[in-house]
Amino acid sequence: KNQVEQSPQSLIILEGKNCTLQCNYTVSPFSNLRWYKQDTGRGPVSLTIMTFSENTKSNGRYTATLDADTKQSSLHITASQLSDSASYICVVPLFSGGYNKLIFGAGTRLAVHP
Amino acid sequence: DGGITQSPKYLFRKEGQNVTLSCEQNLNHDAMYWYRQDPGQGLRLIYYSQIVNDFQKGDIAEGYSVSREKKESFPLTVTSAQKNPTAFYLCASRPERQETQYFGPGTRLLVL
């Protein structure tokens, strides 16, 4: 079954601390994996895209990793800020029925406290 | 001001009532999508349209209907047949030959 699972479900950290969010997927065949950030009451915004051949990619304080062998990805946030409080969603496309359907994880809700 | 707009931000539905959620984009994207988001669950696809005057059912189309008469617009109607409509509804669009979908700000639908 094509699934995307994320952990933890929620996380609370203090401002300035680092954290790592996990994503495991069983989508096959695999082409790429995306991380989205969703502020409360808003639509998701793309943070990064990891293709099959990429192991690590950084976008400012966000660093995503991908292990295609174990089908795992992580999103590491460095020196967290209050504005990092949001849900982080892992997404993997699945080519089905003639188009790329997106398989969404349930997200990790991150709260950064002062 | 470019992008994807959704209206209203909040919508209340009475029992037996049909309501329509608006989604407009001025990005010249061909493909448009409607998703439903419930707490603790991933986004689920309701309907999608890859071109004007054509649309396809997603995973949870029952109780919903759409139209795509213009490239810029993809309204979603939540019919009275949808027995559990309370959710956050997200519209997205995608440029040709790209996989990245761009999301609107969402509409929260509540049942009175």
Q: What is the 3-state secondary structure (H, E, C) of B1-61?
A: CCCEEEECCEEEECCCCCEEEEEEECCCCCEEEEEEECCCCCCEEEEEEEECCEEEECCCC
| Mean pLDDT over the full length of chain A | 94
CA distance B66 to B33: 10
The minimal CB distance from A100 to the residues B41, B43, B99 is found for: B99
Q: How close is the nearest chain A Cα to the Cα of B33, in Å?
A: 10
The answer to whether the CB atoms of A102 and B43 lie below 8 A apart is yes
Q: Which of A71, A73, A82 is nearest to A113 (CA)?
A: A82
| Pairing assessment for the beta strands A32-38 and B87-94 based on DSSP bridges | unpaired
pLDDT at residue A3 in the model? 92
The minimal CB distance from A43 to the residues B41, B45, B104 is found for: B104
The answer to whether the CB atoms of B40 and A9 lie below 8 A apart is yes
CA distance A30 to A28: 5
> How many CB atoms are closer than 10 A to CB A59?
13
Does A15 have pLDDT greater than 90? yes
- Higher pLDDT: B15 or A50? It is A50
**Chain A residues with beta carbon closer than 8 angstroms to that of B25:** none
pLDDT at residue B92 in the model? 97
Burial class (CB in 10 A: 0-12, 13-18, 19+), B39: exposed
Is A87 within 8 Å of A36 (Cβ atoms)?
no
Query: What are the tens digits of pLDDT across the range A51-103?
Result: 988 999 999 999 999 999 999 999 999 999 999 999 999 999 988 766 778 99
Q: How close is the nearest chain B Cα to the Cα of A86, in Å?
A: 14
Q: Which of residues 44-73 of B touch A (CB under 8 A)?
A: 44-45, 48, 50, 56
**Chain B residues with beta carbon closer than 8 angstroms to that of A97:** 56
pLDDT at residue A44 in the model? 95
Residue corresponding to tokens 């029992």:
B15
Task: State how far the alpha carbon of B93 is from the alpha carbons of A60, B8, B9, in Å.
Answer: 26, 18, 18
CA distance B21 to B16: 16
In this prediction, residue B79 has a pLDDT band, given cuts at 50, 70 and 90, of: very high
CA distance A44 to A88: 9
pLDDT at residue A28 in the model? 87
pLDDT at residue B83 in the model? 87
pLDDT at residue B112 in the model? 82
The answer to whether the CB atoms of A41 and B48 lie below 8 A apart is no
Q: What is the mean pLDDT of residues B39-55?
A: 94
- Residue B111 contacts A, CB cutoff 8 Å: no
pLDDT at residue B2 in the model? 62
Q: How close is the nearest chain B Cα to the Cα of A107, in Å?
A: 7
Strand, helix or coil for residue A13: strand
Does B1 have pLDDT greater than 70? no
Q: Which two tokens stand for residue A57?
A: 């990619």
pLDDT at residue A13 in the model? 98
Q: Which two tokens stand for residue A33?
A: 């994996």
